A and B are shown apart, each in its own frame.
Chain A
């Protein structure tokens, strides 16, 4: 069965510092990977997905199949990046909305 691991429950960084949220997965097939974000008092929403290869709000994530990782990075954290971040995996052979979520990482950016 597939599994998504986010090893950090809480990540505290200073404004302007780089931030990296780790995500590792276990799945023998070809996965589709996503990062979802939940800002305070807002709905959970898609941040980015690996298949798009885009940068959203300065965040990027590269799928490393060798290391089975999909870490989320931003070179200069902003206070508005404070939120809960979830890494999620979908099997390409399945309903794509059947997501396997990690436990989430709370990011706190302090001025």
Chain B
């Protein structure tokens, strides 16, 4: 099954813990993105990477970190510094003009 694979689908975290969300793609896309989706707010860009070993902050990067060591992988770490981490997280990759999204990961902080 080709495309974007995110894991886990559901994740629970205690306050103060870091968690890492996985995003893998087999579409051979250079660019990858992390968006956060909150009810009534649409999607907001957290981080993006246009090429391996390079990434840039999006609009709401505070409290998050990423790495891009391989073209296929773009993991997102939600750190304890993120004030309101409970949300739905979407990973995407794409060519010019179209983004392909994963199924998302729902993070709940207990």
Q: Which residues of A contact B (CB under 8 A)?
A: 4, 6, 9, 32, 36, 43-46, 49, 51-52, 86, 88, 95-99, 101-104
Contact = CB atoms under 8 A, between A and B. Distances in A.
The interface centre, meaning the residue of B44, B94, B96, B99 with most chain A CB atoms within 10 A of its CB, is: B99
Given A45-B101, A46-B99, A51-B97, A101 B44 contact: yes
A36 to B, nearest CB: 8
Contacts of A52: 97
Contact of A99 (B41, B99, B102, B103): B99
Given A45-B100, A46-B97, 10 more contacts: A4-B42, A52-B97, A86-B43, A95-B31, A95-B48, A95-B50, A96-B96, A97-B99, A101-B44, A103-B41
Contacts, number: 50
- Interface residue tally of chain B, by bracket? 20 to 34
A50 to B, nearest CB: 11
The interface centre, meaning the residue of A88, A101, A102 with most chain B CB atoms within 10 A of its CB, is: A101
Nearest to A43: B101
Interface of B: 31, 33, 35, 40-45, 48, 50, 56, 58, 90, 92, 94, 96-103
